[in-house]
Amino acid sequence: MILSIILALRLVLAAPLSAAPPGFFPPEPAATDDSYDDADQGGEDSESESDNATAVDPIFGPSLRYTGDLSDAELARKWRDDLHSLGSVSIGFAEQGRLINAAQLPDDPAWIRQRSDLAWGAQETVESLATSFRAVHTQFPDSVPARLSHIGAKDGGYLRPHKSHQSGRAADIAFFYKKDVVPGGRGRRDRFIDPVRSWALVRALITQTDVQVILMDRGIQDVLRNYALEAGEDRAWLGRIFRNGKASLVQHARKHRDHFHARFFAPRSQELGRRLAPLLAERADQNVVVHRVKRGQTLGAIAHVYATSVSAILKANHLHKTFLSLDQRLQIPLLHKPCNRWPIPPAVVVPARCLPPSESATAAL
């Protein structure tokens, strides 16, 4: 009882950390329904997604829930001398972040990667995707494989046309279609979706992985929800997943009719990112800041401000052209001055999975 009161108090007191130092961009505001809408009309897949649903422990501070095996001294030593041994590190935010030691989703009969060079993410993300794809493959062994569009680039960061997909925790995934015929065009796809396998995939993500949020067009959500009800799923449980305002696990997002977007908790990678943020500048190869492009700015002007070079910025951001878009986030390699500042997101606390009553009872045993 006392414990539950303390826990409740801690949740009530939870507030985002404003850890961004002067001169750097503050953490993203908590996501709203509108923030999932596409603010950039330029690309079909462009998205605006912010980190939310993370909680800070205001009493005990950023405790080491997921990296307690590493003392500060050991972490600093590995950072200096044995970086690879740390595993994947998720720095910053989904919309303003990067990755160190990314893991790549391998080839597998259960899935197809649209772009192997964009199949890099935090270890937890890659494992979550593999788990859910394999669950569908086990249930429907004769089905075509699941299709992964993008996770992110090997070192994370800006990935056109996405606004997120930067810190290794986001993935774009295709739906399954009836008779495996993918409809052409960009119109409504509600009636072409195969709800059986598509729901199996979403269900596996929700019940077998630590997915944080799924973004999907409302029309598609209705198809899946109606099918799940018909198939006998618990109505109240589905009520927590679909059409429950900001509390829904599945949120509406424009331009998510031909794929859906999943963002995962990557607790160890995220906690490593928080702890390593102050040490980033100790390695020349990690001495990078993020710059948000303002109106009228050119790459040359940005390079001048940071005393770096246009070519270094192009290389760090996988860009081949010098065209920039407003609000685009660029990683800026600092060639001359060390930077030990990076926006630090709130400490992550992975909530209990959203399980149907039958599986909740099993999980409690």
Q: Which residues of this protein are in contact with Zn ion, per CB under 5 A?
A: 47, 172, 261
Nearer to Zn ion by C-beta: 38 or 47?
Answer: 47
Peptide linkage before 145 cis (omega within 30 of 0): no
Which residues of 21-95 form beta strands (DSSP E)?
Answer: 89-93
Q: Which secondary-structure segment (H or E) carries 362?
A: helix 357-364
Report the nearest approach of Zn ion to the CB of residue 168 (Å).
13
Report the nearest approach of Zn ion to the CB of residue 262 (Å).
8
Adjacent-strand bridge partners of 111: 108, 146
Report the nearest approach of Zn ion to the CB of residue 172 (Å).
4
Nearer to Zn ion by C-beta: 264 or 306?
Answer: 264
Nearer to Zn ion by C-beta: 47 or 51?
Answer: 47
Nearer to Zn ion by C-beta: 45 or 271?
Answer: 45
DSSP 180-213: G----SSS--TTTB-HHHHHHHHHHHHHHS-EEE
At 120, list the tokens.
Answer: 């890099």
Rounded-to-integer distance, Cα 109 and Cα 357, Å: 32
Report the nearest approach of Zn ion to the CB of residue 117 (Å).
16
Nearer to Zn ion by C-beta: 51 or 172?
Answer: 172
At 301, list the tokens.
Answer: 């002007």
- Among 291, 216, 316, 220, which Cα is nearest to 256's? 216
- Contact (Cβ atoms closer than 8 angstroms) between residue 350 and residue 267: yes
- Contact (Cβ atoms closer than 8 angstroms) between residue 356 and residue 229: no
| Residues with Cβ within 8 Å of residue 39, at least 6 apart in sequence | 48, 163, 327
Report the nearest approach of Zn ion to the CB of residue 165 (Å).
6
Nearer to Zn ion by C-beta: 169 or 261?
Answer: 261
Nearer to Zn ion by C-beta: 75 or 122?
Answer: 122
Q: Which residue number is nearest to Zn ion in terms of Cβ? A: 261
Angle, helices 123-139 vs 267-276, to 10°: value is: 170
Nearer to Zn ion by C-beta: 163 or 274?
Answer: 163
Report the nearest approach of Zn ion to the CB of residue 164 (Å).
6
Report the nearest approach of Zn ion to the CB of residue 118 (Å).
11
Report the nearest approach of Zn ion to the CB of residue 354 (Å).
21
- Contact (Cβ atoms closer than 8 angstroms) between residue 54 and residue 349: yes
Q: How would you classify residue 185: left for phi > 0, otherwise alpha for psi between -120 and 50, otherwise beta?
A: left
